[in-house]
Structure 1
């Protein structure tokens, strides 16, 4: 049954994604704010498919902690799930992403319409300057700049691997940072076909105010996201009947 539900969900999810790529084409002609509301509808339909087909509920807590206006959003990254879920509960979000995604037909057009912030990874230090300038422009227009500080998906319980780019952005934007913890990788594992039924927990943590020294912020954002994500990881393991993490896993997850 698990394999069948996972198969049905994957087919439905990607069919829905392709459908929305075309449904969003008229949105290229409307104001960006209107377009982003359409993008949020895609996210909500994906969450609905997760629940009715794969048996995965998404529980989001801490929404009352989100401050109004521009902000840096630093989220744990374990699966594809959070990429479409986070946009549904932020007012006017945009992503920092690798420049090559902007070149894809149709999908790249939508990213450009959403005014995502591209990063040219081959440009070295210049890439940070360009990314920061674009992100600051968007934040000054009241947008929430989403970044995955580890740069790629990490398995739940794996050692953290935060990049210093998040601290550079924080220091130069001058806006508060909203940390987000989650345990999505237990239910939607990266590079795996299986979708495990249960409750994905996404937790919005208390904002980190602007103005902290860069190194202090870097240590703090890691500690807060990892502590909360490890707690959600243990909750998820209990729900799935996996029991507590082994001592070696627990040590790794805190590294």
Structure 2
């Protein structure tokens, strides 16, 4: 009975969350057309709304740990579900993303992505995608903000293993900015697929910066080690443990 009620509340939460996305996008559109600040203001307002309603409707509280990145930095984050995007964008002042090229044609979402300086790339062709990514980052460098990338390239379920892609290291080498690793446990409560949302405390943790100037191989090794270690600790705190393959 309790599970059925929570499942129903999860469904209500999801429906209202996507309806609110349309409402916020339309409400802030005039401001966003006039100024990039309007686009970021709409994104912040919506993300904080989702955090509040997740707590209210499904008992999913959320918390940001560590120092929120400021200035021109690269944020390399663990990605487990839509909710880690929500948490990061609720506090980072000027977020922009490396995103799938197809998303730029999505109604409303594509407009906001373009307005805040997101960088679309073709992820289906590895070599070309890396070249496109580097070129697009260079071309988009005039848009100030914090560039967010997911080193594993997609959402990864808690406990699943997926390699870190070298494209993050190549970007780090090119833009010569500090990289802020970010860990999370949101997938424990908000899975990649399905409706049910579990109550608990979802966390995104910003970790100490990796300064520019490392070799790509050293950077990638350090990034994976710190993000995976911190994410495992956050998931264990949430009651999720697993055995890593030897």
Residue pair 1:179, 1:206 contacting (<8 A) in 2 also: yes
Please identify, of 31-40 and 145-154, the stretch whose mean Cα deviation from structure 2 is larger: 31-40
Residues 122, 80 of structure 1: alpha-carbon distance in 2 compared, 3 angstrom cutoff: closer
* Aligned mate of 1:45, from 44, 49, 62: 49
Unpaired stretches in structure 2, ≥5 consecutive residues? none
TM-score, normalisation: structure 2: 0.91
Q: Which stretches of structure 1, 4 residues or more, deviate above 6 A after TM superposition?
A: none
Q: Which residue pairs with 1:203 in the alignment?
A: 205
Residue pair 2:172, 2:179 contacting (<8 A) in 1 also: yes
In 1, Cα distance between the equivalents of 2:28 and 2:243?
43
Please identify, of 145-154 and 116-125, the stretch whose mean Cα deviation from structure 2 is larger: 116-125
RMSD of the alignment, in Å? Answer: 1.8
Number of equivalent positions: 242
**For each residue in 1:159-194, what CA deviation from the matched residue of structure 2 results, as whole angstroms up to 9, or x when unmatched?**
132111111111111001000000000110111110
Residue pair 1:72, 1:175 contacting (<8 A) in 2 also: yes
Residues 18, 178 of structure 1: alpha-carbon distance in 2 compared, 3 angstrom cutoff: same
Q: Which residue pairs with 2:217 in the alignment?
A: 215
Residue pair 1:157, 1:233 contacting (<8 A) in 2 also: no
Question: Is it true that 1:74 corresponds to 2:67 in the alignment?
Answer: no
Secondary structure of residue in 2 paired with 1:24: helix
Please identify, of 128-137 and 72-81, the stretch whose mean Cα deviation from structure 2 is larger: 128-137
Question: Is it true that 1:20 corresponds to 2:13 in the alignment?
Answer: no
Residues 208, 229 of structure 1: alpha-carbon distance in 2 compared, 3 angstrom cutoff: same
Kindly state the Cα deviation for residue 54 of structure 1 after the two structures are TM-superposed. Answer: 1.1
TM-score, normalisation: structure 1: 0.88
Unpaired stretches in structure 1, ≥5 consecutive residues? 238-243
